[in-house]
Structure 1
């Protein structure tokens, strides 16, 4: 995800990685397979990785929220939160 942020906005990856409240999911071999399956019909690699990372796993049985400025590419059942939501302001 940080690579995609950097491509679209130079310095964006550093800004995202500096947020202490975020948890980053690695794109390991198992997740890469899920990303390949999810990508069929739901946006590009960035959206597919976000979907794969938010889905429940045996280690983490609850689905995570996706914080995004573009909720449109996400299918029903994937919970997104607008990054500009005023409730997120300190």
Structure 2
């Protein structure tokens, strides 16, 4: 019973990722695309955690941590680009 629930949740997460991918492609604005990209990161982390539970292993925990860090950094970079137009600010020599 628990495995069936886990597989259904994996299917729903995959559907959610596809919907977010559509929002990234057809999004009306850049903030919508940034939120959809962050949503894909969170859903991937959840899917990897469910796969780890199904396979009864802890081997994927490092991948979850790395993906979480990368998703956070990419969200910060995209929001900074939307706000200021650049990601890395450089001081110019005048």
The TM-score with structure 1 as length reference comes to 0.29
Larger radius of gyration: 2
Q: Which has the higher helix share?
A: 2
More strand by share: 1
TM-score by length of 2: 0.28
Q: Which has the higher contact order (CA 8 A, sep 6+)?
A: 2
